[in-house]
Amino acid sequence: MRHVPDPAVVARIAETLRGARRVLFITGAGISADSGLPTYRGIGGLYNNQLTEEQFPIETALSGAMLKARPAITWKYLHQIEQTCRGAQFNDAHAIIAQWQERFEVCVLTQNIDGFHRAAGSRNLIEIHGDIHDLLCTRCDYQTSVPDYAALTLPPSCPRCQAPVRPRVVLFGEALPRDALTHLYRELDLGFDLVFSIGTTSVFPYIAGPVVQASQAGIPTVEINPTDTSVTAFVDYKLAAGAAASLRAIREAYGQPAF
């Protein structure tokens, strides 16, 4: 059963949006669900409470330590995740956020590694966990981007030095990229008039933090997620519905025409 966005809440969000200049969108796997991608911890999660075939938690299989010790295991599940993205495209949720750049100063902080926000045209974009299509050598300066992993021999080796190649993504146990963090802190210092949390369980402090801090500062906050999360108690407006349906409803209530 699909959840329908509450029209009364949608109307209040649209009214708040009319008074905003700078808007932050924090997004997780749920925003790509309408593109056919599974979430990883939410409803229909790809790895909900399951061990891998090797009897590891998925967080262990997709860790920096495992990539060093047994790269074939990490690449097996990176390949599995990439396959879920293959052939998929950004959806209305990504497109509406990009469209709103023409009316607001928009910043997008995404955990997603599918590249859909960039493909949709978002410019002020912080891909805090990287992009699964960007590959780099673990030893030399070789880098490349691939449309998918179909042509890769797994685990791949560098064509220049034969060292292991990895995707430009943050694996479990690894530090966040310094450039992305600097970008995020710079945007937060500038401040926002409205903060959206969309399709994320907000389990990481750097994802929940901007929502909680905005709420404590009296800045309006919105959560779009079919389930309750760690930030639900802090937000002013909650839409227990899908991302694309919710953003389409907000756009309509705001008075902006469809594409």
172-194 as b/e: b if 16+ CB within 10 A = beeeebeebeebbeebbeeebbb
* Catalytic one of 79, 94, 117, 129: 129
Contact in structure between 93 and 247 (CB atoms under 8 Å): yes
Neighbours of 222 (CB within 10 A): 24
**51, 63, 158 from 78: Cα distances, Å:** 15, 11, 17
Tokens at 88, concatenated = 């998929």
In angstroms, the first-to-last Cα distance of the chain is 27
Tokens at 197, concatenated = 């949390």
Is-catalytic flag, 129?
Answer: yes
The catalytic site residues sit at 129
